[in-house]
Amino acid sequence: IWSRACDKLRDILSKDVYERWIAVITYKGYKDEVYHLSVTNDFYLSWLEENYSSLISEAISSVTGAPARIQLVVERDAVPEPEGDEEEAPKSRRPRRQGADANLNKDYTFENFVIGPSNNFSHAAAMAVAQSPSRAYNPLFIYGGTGLGKTHLMQAIGNFVLSKNRRKRVSYLSCETFTNEYIDALGQKKLTQFRKRYRNVDLLLIDDIHFLRGKQQMQEEFFHTFNALFQNRKQIVLTCDRPASELKDLTPRLVSRFEWGLVTELEVPDIETRIAILRHKSEYLNLAIPESLLFFLAERISTNIRRLEGGLIRVASYISLTGKKDKKDIEYLLRDTLDQQQDHYVPVDLIQRTVARHFGIHVADLMGKKRPRSIAHPRQIAMYLARCLTQESLPSLGGAFGRNHATILHAYRQVEKRTGEDNQIRQTVNTLKQKIAAEARGQT
Protein backbone atom coordinates (compact mmCIF):
# COMPACT_ATOMS: atom_id res chain seq x y z
CA ILE A 1 0.00 0.00 0.00
CA TRP A 2 2.66 2.42 1.01
CA SER A 3 4.70 1.98 -2.13
CA ARG A 4 1.62 2.54 -4.24
CA ALA A 5 0.79 5.62 -2.22
CA CYS A 6 4.33 6.78 -2.86
CA ASP A 7 3.79 6.35 -6.57
CA LYS A 8 0.80 8.62 -6.36
CA LEU A 9 2.74 11.19 -4.42
CA ARG A 10 5.57 11.03 -6.89
CA ASP A 11 3.10 11.90 -9.61
CA ILE A 12 1.74 14.90 -7.76
CA LEU A 13 4.93 16.33 -6.34
CA SER A 14 8.04 17.64 -7.97
CA LYS A 15 10.99 15.28 -7.88
CA ASP A 16 12.91 17.55 -5.57
CA VAL A 17 10.10 17.79 -3.06
CA TYR A 18 9.44 14.08 -3.24
CA GLU A 19 13.04 13.14 -2.68
CA ARG A 20 13.56 15.55 0.15
CA TRP A 21 10.40 15.03 2.11
CA ILE A 22 8.59 11.87 1.12
CA ALA A 23 11.43 9.47 0.37
CA VAL A 24 12.66 9.92 3.92
CA ILE A 25 9.52 8.41 5.44
CA THR A 26 9.61 4.87 6.72
CA TYR A 27 6.39 2.92 6.64
CA LYS A 28 5.91 1.14 9.94
CA GLY A 29 2.66 -0.69 9.37
CA TYR A 30 -1.08 -0.47 9.86
CA LYS A 31 -2.43 -0.81 13.34
CA ASP A 32 -5.59 0.25 15.11
CA GLU A 33 -6.91 1.80 11.91
CA VAL A 34 -3.94 4.08 11.64
CA TYR A 35 -1.08 4.04 9.17
CA HIS A 36 2.12 4.46 11.13
CA LEU A 37 4.96 6.33 9.53
CA SER A 38 8.25 7.38 10.95
CA VAL A 39 10.98 9.86 10.13
CA THR A 40 14.38 10.32 11.67
CA ASN A 41 14.17 13.78 13.12
CA ASP A 42 11.88 16.50 14.40
CA PHE A 43 12.40 18.70 11.42
CA TYR A 44 10.91 16.22 9.04
CA LEU A 45 8.13 15.61 11.47
CA SER A 46 7.08 19.20 11.92
CA TRP A 47 7.41 19.94 8.25
CA LEU A 48 5.42 16.93 7.15
CA GLU A 49 2.74 17.47 9.72
CA GLU A 50 2.34 21.03 8.73
CA ASN A 51 2.40 20.64 4.99
CA TYR A 52 1.82 17.15 3.82
CA SER A 53 -0.08 15.01 6.24
CA SER A 54 -3.38 15.50 4.42
CA LEU A 55 -1.78 14.85 1.07
CA ILE A 56 -0.22 11.66 2.36
CA SER A 57 -3.45 10.36 3.83
CA GLU A 58 -5.27 11.20 0.62
CA ALA A 59 -2.67 9.28 -1.35
CA ILE A 60 -3.16 6.26 0.89
CA SER A 61 -6.90 6.45 0.76
CA SER A 62 -6.86 6.71 -3.02
CA VAL A 63 -5.02 3.39 -3.02
CA THR A 64 -7.24 1.65 -0.48
CA GLY A 65 -10.49 3.34 -1.36
CA ALA A 66 -11.17 4.09 2.29
CA PRO A 67 -10.40 7.11 4.45
CA ALA A 68 -6.94 6.83 5.92
CA ARG A 69 -5.58 8.16 9.17
CA ILE A 70 -1.86 8.52 9.49
CA GLN A 71 0.39 8.92 12.47
CA LEU A 72 3.87 10.33 12.08
CA VAL A 73 6.50 9.77 14.71
CA VAL A 74 10.18 10.41 15.11
CA GLU A 75 12.34 7.37 15.42
CA ARG A 76 15.92 8.37 15.86
CA ASP A 77 17.64 5.23 14.74
CA ALA A 78 15.08 4.12 12.24
CA VAL A 79 16.79 1.97 9.67
CA PRO A 80 14.78 1.93 6.47
CA GLU A 81 13.59 -1.60 5.95
CA PRO A 82 12.37 -3.49 2.94
CA GLU A 83 8.66 -3.23 2.38
CA GLY A 84 6.85 -5.81 4.38
CA ASP A 85 3.50 -7.06 5.43
CA GLU A 86 1.20 -4.82 7.29
CA GLU A 87 1.08 -7.11 10.25
CA GLU A 88 4.79 -7.11 10.72
CA ALA A 89 6.32 -5.56 13.77
CA PRO A 90 9.57 -4.25 12.33
CA LYS A 91 10.87 -3.14 15.71
CA SER A 92 11.77 -6.59 16.92
CA ARG A 93 13.99 -7.19 13.96
CA ARG A 94 16.16 -4.19 14.47
CA PRO A 95 19.37 -4.98 16.27
CA ARG A 96 19.37 -3.47 19.74
CA ARG A 97 22.09 -0.98 20.03
CA GLN A 98 24.12 -0.48 23.14
CA GLY A 99 23.12 2.66 24.90
CA ALA A 100 19.71 2.66 23.31
CA ASP A 101 18.21 2.88 26.78
CA ALA A 102 19.91 6.15 27.33
CA ASN A 103 17.02 7.82 25.58
CA LEU A 104 19.16 10.32 23.73
CA ASN A 105 18.50 12.24 20.55
CA LYS A 106 21.52 11.49 18.44
CA ASP A 107 21.38 14.90 16.76
CA TYR A 108 22.07 16.57 20.08
CA THR A 109 25.83 16.42 19.92
CA PHE A 110 28.66 18.83 20.62
CA GLU A 111 29.38 18.93 16.89
CA ASN A 112 25.89 20.28 16.28
CA PHE A 113 26.10 22.80 19.08
CA VAL A 114 27.09 26.21 17.79
CA ILE A 115 29.20 28.16 20.23
CA GLY A 116 28.93 31.87 20.93
CA PRO A 117 29.29 34.30 23.82
CA SER A 118 25.87 33.33 25.18
CA ASN A 119 26.79 29.71 25.71
CA ASN A 120 30.55 29.20 25.59
CA PHE A 121 30.93 28.90 29.32
CA SER A 122 28.17 26.31 29.59
CA HIS A 123 29.56 24.53 26.58
CA ALA A 124 33.06 24.37 28.06
CA ALA A 125 31.68 23.08 31.34
CA ALA A 126 29.62 20.44 29.59
CA MET A 127 32.61 19.38 27.56
CA ALA A 128 34.75 19.09 30.68
CA VAL A 129 32.11 16.94 32.33
CA ALA A 130 31.77 14.76 29.24
CA GLN A 131 35.49 14.21 29.10
CA SER A 132 35.93 13.35 32.73
CA PRO A 133 32.62 12.45 34.27
CA SER A 134 32.43 12.84 38.04
CA ARG A 135 35.89 14.33 38.16
CA ALA A 136 35.30 17.74 36.65
CA TYR A 137 32.17 19.19 38.21
CA ASN A 138 29.53 17.23 40.00
CA PRO A 139 26.72 18.04 39.63
CA LEU A 140 26.68 20.23 36.59
CA PHE A 141 23.70 22.51 36.81
CA ILE A 142 22.69 24.29 33.60
CA TYR A 143 19.93 26.84 33.67
CA GLY A 144 18.32 29.17 31.17
CA GLY A 145 15.09 30.09 29.44
CA THR A 146 13.14 27.84 27.07
CA GLY A 147 14.60 26.99 23.73
CA LEU A 148 18.13 28.08 24.59
CA GLY A 149 19.80 24.69 24.31
CA LYS A 150 19.66 23.11 27.77
CA THR A 151 18.38 19.76 26.59
CA HIS A 152 20.70 19.75 23.62
CA LEU A 153 23.79 20.46 25.68
CA MET A 154 22.85 17.97 28.35
CA GLN A 155 22.27 15.21 25.84
CA ALA A 156 25.51 16.10 24.09
CA ILE A 157 27.26 15.04 27.28
CA GLY A 158 25.45 11.70 27.18
CA ASN A 159 26.15 11.15 23.50
CA PHE A 160 29.79 12.00 23.99
CA VAL A 161 30.23 9.65 26.92
CA LEU A 162 28.57 6.83 24.99
CA SER A 163 30.65 7.51 21.91
CA LYS A 164 33.76 6.96 24.00
CA ASN A 165 32.41 3.92 25.71
CA ARG A 166 29.27 2.18 24.54
CA ARG A 167 28.99 0.27 27.77
CA LYS A 168 28.62 3.26 30.04
CA ARG A 169 25.24 3.37 31.63
CA VAL A 170 23.73 6.68 30.69
CA SER A 171 20.21 7.74 31.51
CA TYR A 172 18.51 10.80 30.21
CA LEU A 173 15.04 11.67 31.37
CA SER A 174 12.92 14.67 32.02
CA CYS A 175 12.12 15.37 35.61
CA GLU A 176 8.50 14.83 34.72
CA THR A 177 9.20 11.30 33.46
CA PHE A 178 11.28 10.65 36.52
CA THR A 179 8.35 11.72 38.67
CA ASN A 180 5.84 9.65 36.73
CA GLU A 181 7.99 6.56 36.90
CA TYR A 182 8.38 7.06 40.58
CA ILE A 183 4.64 7.32 41.06
CA ASP A 184 4.07 4.22 38.96
CA ALA A 185 6.67 2.35 40.93
CA LEU A 186 5.01 3.43 44.15
CA GLY A 187 1.64 2.17 42.94
CA GLN A 188 2.99 -1.14 41.77
CA LYS A 189 5.24 -1.61 44.78
CA LYS A 190 8.28 -1.67 42.57
CA LEU A 191 10.21 1.00 44.35
CA THR A 192 13.29 -1.14 44.78
CA GLN A 193 13.44 -1.71 41.07
CA PHE A 194 13.00 1.97 40.36
CA ARG A 195 15.74 2.91 42.76
CA LYS A 196 18.10 0.33 41.42
CA ARG A 197 17.52 1.56 37.92
CA TYR A 198 18.53 5.13 38.59
CA ARG A 199 21.03 4.66 41.33
CA ASN A 200 23.12 2.32 39.24
CA VAL A 201 23.95 4.51 36.31
CA ASP A 202 27.27 6.15 35.46
CA LEU A 203 25.70 9.31 34.18
CA LEU A 204 22.29 10.60 35.13
CA LEU A 205 20.85 13.45 33.09
CA ILE A 206 17.70 14.96 34.55
CA ASP A 207 16.08 17.64 32.46
CA ASP A 208 13.85 20.48 33.68
CA ILE A 209 14.37 19.96 37.37
CA HIS A 210 12.07 22.89 38.14
CA PHE A 211 9.34 20.29 37.82
CA LEU A 212 10.23 19.26 41.39
CA ARG A 213 8.83 22.52 42.72
CA GLY A 214 6.33 21.98 45.44
CA LYS A 215 6.53 18.18 45.23
CA GLN A 216 7.75 17.24 48.65
CA GLN A 217 7.86 13.50 48.36
CA MET A 218 9.50 13.59 44.98
CA GLN A 219 12.15 15.94 46.30
CA GLU A 220 12.82 13.50 49.07
CA GLU A 221 13.23 10.64 46.63
CA PHE A 222 15.42 12.68 44.37
CA PHE A 223 17.54 13.73 47.30
CA HIS A 224 18.36 10.09 47.99
CA THR A 225 19.01 9.29 44.35
CA PHE A 226 21.32 12.25 44.23
CA ASN A 227 23.21 11.17 47.32
CA ALA A 228 23.56 7.59 46.17
CA LEU A 229 25.01 8.64 42.86
CA PHE A 230 27.18 11.31 44.30
CA GLN A 231 28.67 9.03 46.89
CA ASN A 232 29.48 6.45 44.26
CA ARG A 233 31.20 9.15 42.26
CA LYS A 234 28.72 9.03 39.45
CA GLN A 235 28.08 12.07 37.34
CA ILE A 236 24.85 14.04 37.63
CA VAL A 237 23.75 16.75 35.21
CA LEU A 238 20.67 18.86 35.81
CA THR A 239 18.88 21.55 33.88
CA CYS A 240 16.46 24.10 35.16
CA ASP A 241 14.64 27.15 33.90
CA ARG A 242 16.16 29.35 36.59
CA PRO A 243 18.89 29.29 39.25
CA ALA A 244 18.22 26.71 41.96
CA SER A 245 18.05 29.38 44.62
CA GLU A 246 15.12 30.97 42.83
CA LEU A 247 13.06 27.80 42.85
CA LYS A 248 10.29 28.38 45.29
CA ASP A 249 9.27 25.43 47.41
CA LEU A 250 12.47 23.54 46.89
CA THR A 251 13.94 22.13 50.03
CA PRO A 252 17.12 24.01 50.96
CA ARG A 253 19.16 20.85 51.16
CA LEU A 254 18.49 20.18 47.50
CA VAL A 255 19.25 23.75 46.58
CA SER A 256 22.59 23.51 48.31
CA ARG A 257 23.39 20.20 46.64
CA PHE A 258 22.55 21.58 43.25
CA GLU A 259 25.15 24.23 43.87
CA TRP A 260 27.90 21.89 44.99
CA GLY A 261 29.37 21.47 41.56
CA LEU A 262 29.23 24.05 38.84
CA VAL A 263 26.30 26.25 37.92
CA THR A 264 26.20 27.72 34.42
CA GLU A 265 23.73 29.79 32.50
CA LEU A 266 22.62 29.63 28.88
CA GLU A 267 21.80 33.11 27.73
CA VAL A 268 19.94 34.50 24.76
CA PRO A 269 22.28 34.24 21.76
CA ASP A 270 23.46 37.36 19.99
CA ILE A 271 22.72 37.92 16.34
CA GLU A 272 25.98 36.43 15.06
CA THR A 273 25.37 33.23 16.98
CA ARG A 274 21.82 33.07 15.72
CA ILE A 275 23.02 33.36 12.15
CA ALA A 276 25.66 30.71 12.77
CA ILE A 277 23.01 28.37 14.18
CA LEU A 278 20.77 28.90 11.16
CA ARG A 279 23.67 28.29 8.78
CA HIS A 280 24.59 25.15 10.60
CA LYS A 281 21.04 23.83 10.59
CA SER A 282 20.39 24.59 6.97
CA GLU A 283 23.59 22.86 5.94
CA TYR A 284 22.85 19.95 8.20
CA LEU A 285 19.38 19.52 6.73
CA ASN A 286 20.48 20.39 3.27
CA LEU A 287 18.06 23.26 2.88
CA ALA A 288 18.45 25.76 0.11
CA ILE A 289 17.75 29.09 1.75
CA PRO A 290 19.28 32.34 0.58
CA GLU A 291 21.69 33.93 3.01
CA SER A 292 19.60 37.09 3.07
CA LEU A 293 16.67 35.14 4.50
CA LEU A 294 18.87 33.60 7.18
CA PHE A 295 19.78 37.11 8.25
CA PHE A 296 16.17 38.11 8.20
CA LEU A 297 15.18 35.19 10.44
CA ALA A 298 18.07 35.74 12.83
CA GLU A 299 17.18 39.39 13.11
CA ARG A 300 13.51 38.88 13.69
CA ILE A 301 13.46 35.81 15.97
CA SER A 302 15.75 36.67 18.79
CA THR A 303 14.97 34.99 22.07
CA ASN A 304 14.32 31.33 21.42
CA ILE A 305 16.43 28.99 19.31
CA ARG A 306 13.68 26.44 18.98
CA ARG A 307 11.46 29.07 17.41
CA LEU A 308 14.31 30.16 15.21
CA GLU A 309 14.62 26.62 13.91
CA GLY A 310 10.89 26.29 13.49
CA GLY A 311 10.97 29.45 11.37
CA LEU A 312 13.77 28.02 9.28
CA ILE A 313 11.87 24.83 8.56
CA ARG A 314 8.72 26.66 7.63
CA VAL A 315 10.59 28.96 5.30
CA ALA A 316 12.36 26.03 3.69
CA SER A 317 9.14 24.17 3.07
CA TYR A 318 7.42 27.30 1.84
CA ILE A 319 10.18 27.97 -0.65
CA SER A 320 10.26 24.43 -1.88
CA LEU A 321 6.50 24.38 -2.33
CA THR A 322 5.92 27.79 -3.84
CA GLY A 323 9.30 28.84 -5.13
CA LYS A 324 8.69 32.24 -3.51
CA LYS A 325 11.59 33.81 -1.69
CA ASP A 326 10.27 37.29 -1.24
CA LYS A 327 10.80 38.83 2.17
CA LYS A 328 7.25 40.16 2.27
CA ASP A 329 5.85 36.67 1.70
CA ILE A 330 8.11 35.22 4.37
CA GLU A 331 7.15 37.94 6.77
CA TYR A 332 3.52 37.10 6.27
CA LEU A 333 4.16 33.38 6.54
CA LEU A 334 5.89 33.85 9.88
CA ARG A 335 3.69 36.62 11.21
CA ASP A 336 3.05 34.79 14.47
CA THR A 337 6.64 33.71 15.00
CA LEU A 338 8.56 36.90 14.43
CA ASP A 339 9.39 39.29 17.23
CA GLN A 340 7.09 42.26 17.43
CA GLN A 341 8.21 44.88 14.98
CA GLN A 342 10.06 47.57 16.85
CA ASP A 343 11.17 49.73 14.04
CA HIS A 344 7.97 51.63 13.53
CA TYR A 345 7.64 54.67 15.64
CA VAL A 346 4.79 54.09 18.10
CA PRO A 347 3.31 57.22 19.63
CA VAL A 348 1.84 56.94 23.11
CA ASP A 349 -1.53 58.29 22.05
CA LEU A 350 -1.81 55.54 19.46
CA ILE A 351 -1.37 53.00 22.24
CA GLN A 352 -3.93 54.77 24.37
CA ARG A 353 -6.44 54.87 21.54
CA THR A 354 -5.97 51.24 20.66
CA VAL A 355 -6.25 50.05 24.24
CA ALA A 356 -9.30 52.20 24.91
CA ARG A 357 -11.03 50.92 21.79
CA HIS A 358 -10.16 47.34 22.68
CA PHE A 359 -11.76 47.65 26.10
CA GLY A 360 -14.60 49.86 24.95
CA ILE A 361 -13.76 52.82 27.15
CA HIS A 362 -12.85 56.45 26.49
CA VAL A 363 -9.28 57.55 26.07
CA ALA A 364 -9.96 60.20 28.70
CA ASP A 365 -10.68 57.42 31.21
CA LEU A 366 -7.14 56.18 30.84
CA MET A 367 -5.91 59.56 32.02
CA GLY A 368 -8.62 60.10 34.61
CA LYS A 369 -8.60 59.16 38.25
CA LYS A 370 -11.51 56.75 38.22
CA ARG A 371 -10.75 53.51 39.92
CA PRO A 372 -13.29 50.84 39.03
CA ARG A 373 -11.56 47.75 37.75
CA SER A 374 -13.14 48.11 34.33
CA ILE A 375 -11.00 51.19 33.92
CA ALA A 376 -8.04 50.58 36.19
CA HIS A 377 -7.17 47.36 34.41
CA PRO A 378 -7.03 48.80 30.87
CA ARG A 379 -5.16 51.77 32.27
CA GLN A 380 -2.44 49.56 33.70
CA ILE A 381 -2.20 47.62 30.49
CA ALA A 382 -1.90 50.80 28.47
CA MET A 383 0.90 52.00 30.75
CA TYR A 384 2.63 48.69 30.44
CA LEU A 385 2.41 48.72 26.66
CA ALA A 386 3.59 52.29 26.51
CA ARG A 387 6.66 51.32 28.47
CA CYS A 388 7.26 48.23 26.28
CA LEU A 389 6.67 49.72 22.89
CA THR A 390 8.04 53.24 23.06
CA GLN A 391 11.41 54.69 23.92
CA GLU A 392 9.88 57.39 26.06
CA SER A 393 11.27 57.99 29.54
CA LEU A 394 9.19 57.18 32.62
CA PRO A 395 8.50 60.81 33.52
CA SER A 396 7.41 61.57 29.99
CA LEU A 397 5.10 58.54 29.99
CA GLY A 398 3.82 59.69 33.36
CA GLY A 399 2.98 63.02 31.76
CA ALA A 400 1.12 61.31 28.93
CA PHE A 401 -1.11 59.56 31.45
CA GLY A 402 -1.43 62.49 33.85
CA ARG A 403 0.52 60.55 36.51
CA ASN A 404 4.05 60.45 37.84
CA HIS A 405 6.82 58.11 36.81
CA ALA A 406 6.34 55.82 39.82
CA THR A 407 2.79 54.98 38.78
CA ILE A 408 4.00 53.93 35.34
CA LEU A 409 6.73 51.78 36.79
CA HIS A 410 4.32 50.19 39.23
CA ALA A 411 1.84 49.42 36.46
CA TYR A 412 4.61 48.01 34.32
CA ARG A 413 5.85 45.67 37.03
CA GLN A 414 2.35 44.67 37.95
CA VAL A 415 1.33 43.71 34.44
CA GLU A 416 4.64 42.05 33.76
CA LYS A 417 4.17 39.86 36.77
CA ARG A 418 0.62 39.00 35.85
CA THR A 419 1.43 38.13 32.25
CA GLY A 420 3.74 35.52 33.71
CA GLU A 421 0.97 34.02 35.79
CA ASP A 422 -2.18 34.52 33.84
CA ASN A 423 -2.64 33.22 30.31
CA GLN A 424 -5.57 35.42 29.61
CA ILE A 425 -3.72 38.58 30.41
CA ARG A 426 -0.77 37.44 28.36
CA GLN A 427 -3.09 36.88 25.46
CA THR A 428 -4.74 40.24 25.83
CA VAL A 429 -1.36 41.89 25.90
CA ASN A 430 -0.22 40.01 22.81
CA THR A 431 -3.38 40.82 20.92
CA LEU A 432 -2.99 44.46 21.79
CA LYS A 433 0.64 44.45 20.73
CA GLN A 434 -0.41 43.09 17.38
CA LYS A 435 -3.17 45.64 16.98
CA ILE A 436 -0.84 48.45 17.90
CA ALA A 437 1.83 47.20 15.52
CA ALA A 438 -0.73 47.02 12.74
CA GLU A 439 -1.90 50.55 13.49
CA ALA A 440 1.65 51.83 13.60
CA ARG A 441 2.41 50.24 10.25
CA GLY A 442 -0.68 51.75 8.78
CA GLN A 443 0.35 55.19 9.93
CA THR A 444 3.79 55.43 8.43
Under the rule (CB under 6 A), what is the footprint of ligand ADP?
A: 112-114, 119, 144, 146-152, 277, 305-306, 309
Interface with Mg ion by CB under 5 A: which range of 151-159, 177-185, 286-294, 426-434?
151-159
Compare residues 151 and 428 and give the one whose CB is closer to Mg ion.
Answer: 151
Window 267-326: residues binding Mg ion (CB under 5 A): none
149 binds, among ligand ADP, Mg ion, none (CB under 5 to 8 A by kind): ligand ADP
Distance from CA of residue 11 to its chain's centroid?
36
When the beta carbons of 151 and 159 are compared against Mg ion, the nearer one is: 151
Known binding residues? 147, 149-151
Helix or strand holding residue 207 (H, E): strand 203-207
Min CB(174)–Mg ion separation in Å: 8
The helix (run of H) or strand (run of E) holding residue 203 is strand 203-207
CB-count exposure of residue 302 (10 Å: 0-12, 13-18, 19+): middle
Q: Kindly state the helix (H) or strand (E) to which residue 385 belongs, with its residue range.
A: helix 373-389
| Site for Mg ion contains 151 (CB under 5 A) | yes
User: 113: closest CA among 101, 100, 122, 104?
Assistant: 122
Closest CA to 316 of 17, 1, 3, 86: 17
> Which 8-state DSSP code applies to residue 25?
-
Closest CA to 281 of 253, 312, 325: 312
CB 239 within 8 A of CB 155: no
Q: State in Å, rounded, how far the first CA of the chain is from the last one.
A: 56
Binding partner at 257 among ligand ADP, Mg ion, none, C-beta below 5 to 8 Å by kind: none
Minimum CB–partner distance for residue 116 and ligand ADP (Å): 7
Shortest CB 394 distance to ligand ADP, Å: 33
Name the residue nearer to ligand ADP (CB basis): 238 or 400: 238
Please identify, among the stretches 82-90, 144-152, 156-164, 333-341, the one whose residues bind Mg ion according to the rule CB under 5 A.
144-152
Q: Which residue is nearest to ligand ADP (CB)?
A: 149
Of all residues in this chain, which one has the CB nearest to Mg ion in the complex? 151
* CB of residue 103 to ligand ADP, shortest distance in Å: 14
Whose Cβ is closer to Mg ion: residue 204's or residue 432's? 204
Considering the complex, what minimum distance in angstroms separates the CB of residue 258 from ligand ADP?
A: 17
C-beta of 270: minimal distance to ligand ADP in Å?
12
Nearer to ligand ADP among residue 122 and residue 354 (C-beta): 122
Total chain residues near Mg ion (CB under 5 A): 2
Task: Give the C-alpha separation, 28 to 311, whole Å.
Answer: 29
The one of Mg ion, ligand ADP, none whose footprint includes residue 142, by CB under 5 to 8 A per kind, is none
8 A C-beta contact, residue 237 and residue 138: no
H-helix or E-strand containing 265? strand 262-266
* Nearer CB in complex with Mg ion: 150/281: 150
Select 312 or 356, whichever has its Cβ closest to ligand ADP: 312
- For residue 130, the number of C-alpha atoms closer than 13 Å in the C-beta half-sphere is 20
Nearest-angstrom CA–CA distance, 350 and 354: 6
Select the binding partner of residue 160 from ligand ADP, Mg ion, none (C-beta < 5 to 8 A, by kind). Answer: none
Question: Is 50 within 8 Å of 317 (Cβ atoms)?
Answer: yes
Query: Of 30-38, 119-127, 146-154, 405-413, which segment contacts Mg ion by CB under 5 A?
Result: 146-154
Strands (E) in 157-291, as ranges, are 170-174, 203-207, 235-240, 262-266
Residue list, annotated binding site for ATP: 147, 149-151
State the nearest-atom distance from the C-beta of 143 to ligand ADP, in Å.
9
CB neighbour class for 344 (10 Å; exposed up to 12, middle 13-18, buried from 19) = middle
Contact residues: Mg ion, CB under 5 A: 150-151
